[in-house]
Structures are given as C-alpha cells and as structure tokens.
Structure 1
Amino acid sequence: MVIYILLGLTLLLALGSMLLLWIAVTRPLQYSRSLVFLSCSLALFVYLYGTWIFLSAYTKYVFAAAFVLVLISAAQQPRKEPVRPYAAWRKWVNRALAWILWVFIILYFTGTTGRPRRVAIGLPFKHGKYFVLQGGKGLPTNLFHYSLRGAVYAMDIVKLDRYGRRANRVFSANLHDYVSFGDTIYAPCDGRVVRANNTNPDNTPPNMQRGPTNTNQVLLETGTCYVFMAHMRKGSVMVHENDWVKKGDPIGRIGNSGFSAEPHLHMQVHMKESNLPWYQCPPLYMELNGKSYLLNEIIDADEK
C-alpha cells in the first residue's frame, strides 16, 4: 500500500535526522558542522513534508520535541575524537545535500507560480478541525493537482478527530472509519449553481474512478469566479442546477466519489472569463475566512 510506504519513509527520515544529529553533536565541532547542518535541514524537511497525517496531524509536534531532546541529550555527552580524519569530500556532500533540502523547504512556502492571484471566500465547514491533505502554490507541494487541468491551487481537505486523526486507523476499506465521510459542506460564497451531480457511487478505498462527470460535485458561479467542490457522497447533494445559494447554506456532504482514494473535499476556484469553460479560466489561490493554507496545515473552523 502506498500509504504505508509514505508513512514508513517519513518515519525513516525522521529517525535518520535524529541519528545524524546525535553523531554530529557528540563529535568535536570542527568535524561536525556540516553534519549538524544536514541533520537540521533533514528534520525541517520531514517536518513540513512528512505524511504524519496517516498517524495523526499532531505527530510532527512529537517529532519536533524528540529532535530537541536528542539535541539536548547529545550536547551533554563527552565529545569523541573520530578514529580517522573526517574527509573534506564528506563535508561538501553534507552541505550539498542540505542545500538541496533547503530548496524544497523554501519552495514549500513560495511555490513555483510566482505571486498568485487570490480570491477571498469562506470556509466550507462550520465546526471542527480540518487538514490540508494536498495543496499549496504549485510545485512541489501540490504535485498531484499540478498535473491536472487548471488545478494548480486546488486543495484536498479532510476532517480530523480530537486526536488529529483523519481515520481510526492508518488505512481502512470501510468508508465509515473516516472522520470526513458524511461531514456537511457549506457554500463558501453566494452564487448560482451551474452544475450539480448526485448519483455517482462512493468508492471503496483505495479504488478510484477517473472521469470529468463521475464525481458528485457542485459548481458555483459568482460575478467574478467559479468555485468547484467535488467527491461528495452519493445522494447527499442538496442543491440543483440554477439554484441560488447564500454563503453558509448546506450544499452536500463529503464522500468518496470519482477520482478519490479516500473521503475528502476537493476545492478549486477559477477567475470568471467569457467564452471559456470554467476549468480553462485562470486558477485562483484561495483565502478561506481571510487565511491561506499550505500543505499539511490544520484549519480550525471554530476560529472566528
């Protein structure tokens, strides 16, 4: 399973960063500066990009605390002289690897699309904590959506339980094990419903059905943009084409229809332009209740 591979890789990199830190700090500083730089860079990289959500969204905070404890503990150990001199080429390799990681760290915040055009809309939820499973400002954080038509700023959002979990286990084929499944979706803005699909079945994880119309969806049109929301639960869509909705009106429930491996809400927004299909219009970066979110960030719907 891909989920277990990604989680295993996250944990392996996290443990590797702590091991490198221990080795570096317990050696004389003249031999270990580059290794300290590499270990801290790796730790920050895995903190930002790691798939901690498969355990809990809060697991990365445990990792951060453990990393600091390793640093404190290692600093209290007697420094050991290396058995043989530390080769200069190793220092250069350490620095090169660290700077490569820093490219990804910087791109996590900046993305690759320059300064995006933004749109202010509301949260599609009213209560609870949610998590950005996929999102960001283009590459590398939004790699999957970047490959899809016009979805460069799209977001996949899941709901969390009180322990920060998206489901009651790492993986489950039972839709009801996922916190998101059946959660109510609310209109994030006023608008007219220009598309509403409601009859597609929910996939059994991790199966997916690709296609433009095989996902239960709602497409809203405002005076300036289109708001697309997808993967809704079969039979849960509460609006019809040409209905007018107000911000905060319930419009459906989270499901697992279409090209979706587990229950979540997919959202993307496009600037409205005449004579173009909505998905070919320029994509917009979403500000939800006045705040923008990046990959692996937590959304608190109770914050006002």
Structure 2
Amino acid sequence: MLTHLLMIVLFAVFAGLPLFYAWRVFRLDEAARGGWLVRVAEAALLLLLFLALGRWDMAGLYTRWVLVALLAAAALLSWRRHACRPWRVAAGPSFWRAHLSPLAGIAILGGLLVWIALGVFSAPAPHALRFPLEGGRFAVVQGGAHMLLNRHYGHPAQRYAADIVAVGPAGFRARGLLPDDPSRYAIFGLRVVSPCAGDVVEAADGLPDLRPPRMDPENPAGNHVVVRCEGKGIRVLLAHLQRGSLAVAEGARVEAGDLLGLAGNSGNTSEPHLHIHAVDAATGLGVPMAFDGRVPLRNRLFRR
C-alpha cells in the first residue's frame, strides 16, 4: 500500500505541477513582455527538468509530450495578450523585486539542469556494447552519470549501471500502476541477449520470480549472468532473469546477440526489469556503456 501511495504522489507531482504551471502561464497578465518572458522561462525550465527526471514509463511516454504541447499552447495564447505591451515599465517597483520569485526559480532550476549536464557529459568514453534485449520498445528508467538520474550512481561498481523496462503500444511499462502479477509487465519474458562476444564467467538460476513489490535483498542480482567481454577488459552483469530461463552455463562461449535468458523479477527488485552494468575486470570499478552507439540515459528509448 505504501508503494502504491508513493507512485500516486510521484505521478501527481510530475504530471500535476507542469499542468499547474501551464495554467498559470495561460492566465498571465503582466504589465510588460519582460515579466511575461520570466514567468514562461521558469515554467519551461521546470518542465525540462521533469522531462529528464520523471518516470514516464509509469506516467506514459506520451503524457510528457501532452504536457509540452499544453505549455506551448498556453504560452502562445498568453503571448497574444502581451505582444503589444512594452518590454518594461518605468513606473512601479523595480523589475527584480517584482519578479524575485520566478527569477529565483530560474536560477535553481537552471542550476540543477547544468549540474546534471555536467555529470552526464563529463563521463569517460563508454564501452561499445550490443543492446541486451530483443522483441520490443525499451525505456531506460535508471541510467546516466548523475545521482539524480541513476540511483546506482553512488555504488562504485554500478556507477554507470542501467535499469531497463519495456513499454507497450500506449507507452506504459505495465498494465496497471503497480500490478502484483509479473506477467502484466511488458518486459517479463522477453529475450535477454549477450551484449558482447566472450565467455560466461558466472551464471545463477533457480530463484523465484517475486510478485511486486516483494523483494529479495539476500540475493541482490537474482538469477543472473556475467559475461567477460573479449578484448574489452570488462565484465558485464545482467540481472533479475526469469527462473529456469537461462540458456547458458558458466564456461560457455557466447557471441553478441546470443540468448542468455529471459527477463524476470528475481532478486532485490521491486518490479520486472533488466539491470545491467559493466566493471573493469582488473579493478572491479564501474565503467560507462553505450548500446548501439547510445549511452543509456534515463528516459532514453531503444527499439529492438
């Protein structure tokens, strides 16, 4: 029940707050165009931040573009009231005092976006890998070299990890907000394939697929496979596989794209998804990955 409540609150914040700002932009009646511009800029930066941070696989991939369209329409309609007004007015309080709140919002929101961008773009060059799933459209829900984009970022071995879900035709990762049947999640049972050519150095099976939101902290990776990538000096872990689905055993030779198993919900996971991260074989520290030339950032989509 607590998990369901948290999901509802998150949905209300990430969808409701941009709607409130769009409504406020629509109703703007500033004395000058400069004030209008400040208010619209604050709303646009808030929406941009939410587009980067939100779990749009839960709220719906298309919901975010509806919010963008609503804000754009609100800005256009309110601009028609302000187009003939001066850029600033001489009388009354100074511009800075009159717009202190939105200017502070712009500074805070802009600072957060710059902070995220600096983390993402300062990451080392990624290792080229094949996308590890087949048979659908996939969204990255945890990924990127920043703590606000990736809950794994604080763990040295998982700093550049990615959690990936599948999304259905309507843009949702499951039939329902948090169904307790793993089969209602779009990723459950899809093919997990090797991201590189190499050797299987670890393969574990036999753990049950849990009913969300139950978790198994005693077995964090659940059913999983570790592949030592040939010529790259890295090992790649693919976790939370379906019980009884592993197609390889320890010591097996695999090529990129070979079947490893099926996506499941085993281990320390609140819902079905694929967890993948790569580590330097010598140090055990996490290294960045790129799937088919694209780094897995939160909300980035892949088709296979």
Aligned mates of 2:167, 2:35 — CA distance in 1: 44
Contact 2:196/2:257 (8 A) holds in 1? yes
Alignment of 1:17-36 (within 5 A): 17-24=21-28, 27-36=31-40
The aligned residue for residue 178 of structure 1 is 185
1:145 to 149, 152, 157: 152
Alignment of 1:1-304 (within 5 A): 1=4, 2-24=6-28, 27-77=31-81, 88-111=96-119, 114-142=122-150, 144-212=151-219, 215-223=222-230, 224-273=233-282, 276=283, 281-301=284-304
Q: Give how far 1:201 is off.
A: 1.1
Q: Give SS of 1:145's match.
A: coil
Kindly provide the CA deviation profile for residues 123-142 of structure 1, in whole angstroms up to 9, marking residues without a partner as x: 11233210001111122211
Q: Give SS of 1:39's match.
A: helix
Q: Which shows bigger deviation, 89-98 or 232-241?
A: 89-98
- When residues 218 and 10 of structure 1 are mapped into structure 2, their CA distance, relative to the original with a 3 A threshold, is same
Aligned mates of 2:29, 2:245 — CA distance in 1: 56
Contact 1:111/1:140 (8 A) holds in 2? no
The amino acid of 1:76's aligned partner reads: R
- When residues 90 and 44 of structure 1 are mapped into structure 2, their CA distance, relative to the original with a 3 A threshold, is farther
Q: Give SS of 2:266's match.
A: coil
The amino acid of 1:134's aligned partner reads: Q
TM-score (norm 2): 0.88
Contact 1:193/1:240 (8 A) holds in 2? yes
Kindly provide the CA deviation profile for residues 80-135 of structure 1, in whole angstroms up to 9, marking residues without a partner as x: 9xxx8688435233212212111222334332683324100101123321000111
Q: Give SS of 2:48's match.
A: helix
Contact 1:192/1:245 (8 A) holds in 2? yes
- When residues 128 and 110 of structure 1 are mapped into structure 2, their CA distance, relative to the original with a 3 A threshold, is farther
Kindly provide the CA deviation profile for residues 230-254 of structure 1, in whole angstroms up to 9, marking residues without a partner as x: 0111111111111111111111111
Q: Give how far 1:149 is off.
A: 4.2
Alignment RMSD (CA, Å): 2.4
Aligned mates of 1:94, 1:78 — CA distance in 2: 18
The amino acid of 1:202's aligned partner reads: D
Q: Give how far 1:296 is off.
A: 0.9
Aligned mates of 2:62, 2:38 — CA distance in 1: 30
- When residues 88 and 214 of structure 1 are mapped into structure 2, their CA distance, relative to the original with a 3 A threshold, is closer
Question: Identity across aligned pairs (percent)?
Answer: 26
Q: Give SS of 2:213's match.
A: coil
- When residues 159 and 214 of structure 1 are mapped into structure 2, their CA distance, relative to the original with a 3 A threshold, is closer
The amino acid of 1:291's aligned partner reads: R
Aligned mates of 1:214, 1:46 — CA distance in 2: 30
Kindly provide the CA deviation profile for residues 253-299 of structure 1, in whole angstroms up to 9, marking residues without a partner as x: 111111111100000011221xx5xxxx2311111012223111111
- When residues 90 and 174 of structure 1 are mapped into structure 2, their CA distance, relative to the original with a 3 A threshold, is farther
Aligned mates of 1:213, 1:141 — CA distance in 2: 21
Q: Which shows bigger deviation, 161-170 or 100-109?
A: 100-109
Contact 2:135/2:191 (8 A) holds in 1? no
Gaps spanning 5+ residues in structure 1: where? Answer: none
Aligned length: 293
Contact 1:37/1:95 (8 A) holds in 2? no
